[in-house]
Amino acid sequence: MNQQHRIIELFVQQFGRPPEWLSAAPGRVNLIGEHVDYCGGLVLPMAIDRSTMIAAAIGTGGQKPGFARISSTAFQDRVDIPLDGSLRPNSKSGAHDWADYVRGVIAGFEARSGRLPAFDALIDSSVPVGGGLSSSAALEVAMATLLAGMTGDPITSVELALLCQRAEHEFAGVPCGIMDQFASTLCQQDHLLLLDCQSLEARQVAFDRKELLVLIVNSNVQHQLGGSEYAQRRKDCERAARLLGVGSLREATAEQVENSRDLLGDIGYRRARHVVTEIARTQAAAEALASSRWHAVGTLMAASHASLRDDYSVSCFELDLLVELAEAQPGVIGSRLTGGGFGGSTVTLVEASKAERAMELIAAGYLQRSGRACSMFTTRPSQGARLLLTKPSCS
């Protein structure tokens, strides 16, 4: 049974009536342009064909007026969220749970649209959690897409993505950039999204070659230090920008960084060098893709991984191993870590006819040398957030 049918059936089982609304938002994989979104850089993500879906109906059958009753199939959990404007950013330390992302989005809509109607909702996701594929952005964007539909709020895509990013900052305590929420919102089928994170200008780059596949390999490790190190990288970049006298590293040139080595110190210099070279690589990769220069794309992906490993220090043994194994396979065009790093996934461009064999050999090599199993799937660029079922607006 496909995900859409499954969630409708589960909604009926749980709430005793059919859903009126159904939203979907995909996870994303970033082809290149890593750890530059919060520096105003260029990124080149695409939506994967795995999504978070939310089925919903207005009203709670008289049981919980003034509340949203929301269940998650993945977490086998239900929360009742008050819709009286009382939600506040969550400053609790430690782990935040799935419902914090939802609360953040609801609070964002309450701030825009005032009181929301009571509703029941069921969340189901095929985006792997903890794999670096933005399951959290998919959840936020699916929730925001649902609420925009249910309330008739004329929110633009850019406003919606920014609202979701704010939810993640304030309610989940993650100081993320804007790439994930923009990708989940704006990506189109058969396209990569070239997003300028400074101007927020987004350009669709066609990527519809059926002879190529995007292979995602999940290392199945998530190193604990990832969260704190991410925030530290942001600070390192902000400091380097201040020292260089620019608003963000987007405005710095490679020459400026090279000439300021002593001023920046070793760490600052390396972080800044990664950012300026990665932005240039992303621009070059978008051009190479548009003219089908695959070899150039592969070389840029390899350089991106090396820079993330050596200058930005966000890789780990498992990700380096997956990239090394992928690069050794016939038909592989390029491979690199994708997302925040410290575990999670790699992204590999591979010729479709050679993908199966490459996958077998990567899996076997990874098991042999790391003692772990990886999980993997291939995808093509998919559609961003959308409503799959709508009722006339209640506003």
26 binds ligand GLA (CB under 6 A): no
34 binds ligand GLA (CB under 6 A): yes
Closest by CA position to 33, among listed 334, 288, 274, 332: 274
| Stretch near ligand GLA under the rule CB under 6 A, chosen from 71-79, 177-185, 255-263, 296-304 | 177-185
Other C-beta atoms within 10 Å of 289: how many?
A: 24
How do the residues of the chain divide into helix, strand and coil, expressed in percent and rounded to 5?
45, 25, 30
Tokens of 325: 């194994």
| Stretch near ligand GLA under the rule CB under 6 A, chosen from 144-152, 172-180, 266-274, 385-393 | 172-180
Nearer to ligand GLA, 22 or 176 (CB): 176
Residues 324-343 that bind ligand GLA (CB under 6 A): 339-340
- In the complex, what is the shortest distance from the CB of residue 340 to ligand GLA, in angstroms, rounded to a whole number? 4
- In the complex, what is the shortest distance from the CB of residue 9 to ligand GLA, in angstroms, rounded to a whole number? 32
- In the complex, what is the shortest distance from the CB of residue 136 to ligand GLA, in angstroms, rounded to a whole number? 8
Q: Is 201 exposed, middle or buried (0-12, 13-18, 19+ CB in 10 A)?
A: exposed
Nearer to ligand GLA, 19 or 104 (CB): 104
Residue whose token pair is 């491979």: 335
- In the complex, what is the shortest distance from the CB of residue 317 to ligand GLA, in angstroms, rounded to a whole number? 19
176 binds ligand GLA (CB under 6 A): yes
104 binds ligand GLA (CB under 6 A): no
Nearer to ligand GLA, 71 or 135 (CB): 135
- In the complex, what is the shortest distance from the CB of residue 164 to ligand GLA, in angstroms, rounded to a whole number? 11
Nearer to ligand GLA, 20 or 100 (CB): 100
Nearer to ligand GLA, 28 or 103 (CB): 28
Please tell me which residue in 37, 100, 180, 236 is annotated as part of the active site. Answer: 180
- In the complex, what is the shortest distance from the CB of residue 36 to ligand GLA, in angstroms, rounded to a whole number? 7
Closest by CA position to 285, among listed 259, 304, 265: 304
Phi-psi region at 229: left, alpha or beta (left = phi > 0; alpha = psi -120 to 50): alpha
DSSP 224: T
E strands present in 238-391: 332-338, 343-351, 375-379, 386-389
Q: How far apart (Å, rounded) are the C-alpha atoms in residues 323 and 335?
A: 6
177 binds ligand GLA (CB under 6 A): yes
Q: Which of 15, 38, 109, 207 binds ligand GLA (CB under 6 A)?
A: 38
The pairing of beta strand 45-58 with beta strand 42-43: unpaired
Q: Which of 35, 273, 274, 336 binds ligand GLA (CB under 6 A)?
A: 35
37 binds ligand GLA (CB under 6 A): yes
Tokens of 45: 């993500």
Asked whether the beta carbons of 201 and 366 are under 8 A apart, the reply is no
161 binds ligand GLA (CB under 6 A): no
Q: Which parts of 311-379 fold into alpha helices (H)?
A: 317-327, 352-370
CA distance to 24, 50, 127, per residue, from 3 (Å): 10, 10, 12
Q: Is 190 exposed, middle or buried (0-12, 13-18, 19+ CB in 10 A)?
A: middle
| Stretch near ligand GLA under the rule CB under 6 A, chosen from 18-26, 35-43, 72-80, 82-90 | 35-43
Please measure the distance between the N-terminal and C-terminal CA atoms of the chain and give it in whole angstroms: 34
Query: Where in the sequence numbering do the catalytic residues fall?
Result: 180
Contact footprint for ligand GLA (CB under 6 A):
34-35, 37-38, 176-177, 179-180, 339-340
